[in-house]
Amino acid sequence: MTYTDADGDQLDGHRRYVLRLEMDPPVDAFWSLTMYDLPDFCLVANPIDRYSIGDRTPGLRRDSDGSLTIVIQHEQPADTSNWLPAPAAPFRPLMRLYQPQAAVLDGTYKIPPITKATS
């Protein structure tokens, strides 16, 4: 779980963010990133009924180098393939790693930080 972006600022749906995974998290089952509102930690209602995104999400689009860029924002983007909808308020995403591999358990794998979108 995280409350802050790479700059240490509170995550807030008034901004746009990305989470760029150079490679999928090392798991033997699956991974997911779920969006929760604050302060109640409820799922976030949205126009595409997507409450989480992960390796089992249909239609995900990989970058040309094989990485995966997840778009986290309140406003619906033109391409919703990799969009995890956020509330128009502070939020808390939670990444779950099911059957994590050794790199997760020994701490050598680090989940990349969420960064503010630049474009």
Question: Which amino acid, one-letter code, is at 52?
Answer: S
- Joined together, the tokens standing for residue 29 give 């089952």
β pairing state of 68-73 and 17-21:
antiparallel
Q: What is the pLDDT of residue 114?
A: 98
Cβ–Cβ under 8 Å, residues 27 and 77: no
The rounded mean pLDDT for the chain is 96
pLDDT tens profile 25-83: 999 999 999 999 999 999 999 999 999 999 999 999 999 999 999 999 999 999 999 99
Confidence of residue 117 (pLDDT cuts 50, 70, 90): very high
Q: What average pLDDT does this structure show over 81-108?
A: 97
Q: Which domains does the chain have, with CATH numbers?
A: 17-113 (2.60.120.1600)
